[in-house]
Amino acid sequence: MPELLDGKTAVVTGASSGNGRAIARTFAEHGADIVVADVREDPRLRGPPTHEVIPEETDASASFVNCDVTSNDDLRAAITEADEYGGIDVMVNNAGIFADTEDFFGVSEDEYRTMMDINAKGPFFGSQFAAEKMSESGGGNIINLSSINGDVGTESNVAYCASKGAVRVMTYALADALGPDIRVNAIHPGMIETAQIVKDYDHLEADEEEDRLATIPLGRQGRPEEIAKAALFLASDLASYVTAASLVVDGGVVNTR
């Protein structure tokens, strides 16, 4: 199979762990050089740093930039790092935080601000800075990680839903603002086996876990590699006529609730 991203350079925020790590490795397998932009080098669960694994497993190059997505200076530095590989072609705004059990009446202003700063402000300015570079070089594409909670609201995580809903609609507006040379799409993961999910659900009893999985038509959690494959499609020319789209990767949950 031809390398779908041969000669491309991607910046992936939150790429040290979880979905971002899988996206970075999958992109590298298909020819892209990678800038890993994260607040930590080591993965949350296990294994060597993403930027060290990529040149060992693939012919691609990779580097790490310490990047807090709430800092515009950090975002600019991560995107500028892509110049080492010829300039940014793909921006993946993946970094985010999750709150599954939130008391709406107990959410403080600081907690809300943190949620929005990481989950919505980060993708906004990550897209802005990436698009500035892409416009200079003739185009590219942006992929924002939203969530099924950007489509369906739940009482247990109102602030999180607000942040991911913002990402969804922002993606549509960006696609309109940046076309035709820059494509912008969103991925809406469901329950994926990442460190965040493991941490938030490791307290469940066996029967509670079974009930949770019963809400998923495919009967299991997704894997980060399955989110990565969706991102690969959107980043490649296979999706050359796809923009302003929300690709739901959730095992069927949203449309069968």
| Residue type, position 249, single letter | V
Look-up of token digits 């397998």: 29
Give the start-end residues of each E strand in 58-163: 62-66, 90-93, 140-145
112 is catalytic: no
CB 70 within 8 A of CB 122: yes
**What size, in residues, is the chain?**
257
Catalytic residue among 160, 172, 201, 241: 160
- The C-alpha atoms of residue 156 and residue 138 are separated, in whole angstroms, by 43
Burial of 68 (0-12, 13-18, 19+ CB in 10 A): middle
Q: Provide the 10 A C-beta neighbour count for residue 231.
A: 27
What is the H or E stretch that residue 162 is in?
Answer: helix 158-178
Task: Cite the beta strand spans of 176-235 per DSSP E.
Answer: 182-189
- What is the spatial distance between Cα 198 and Cα 12, in angstroms, rounded to a whole number? 22
Q: Which residues are catalytic?
A: 160
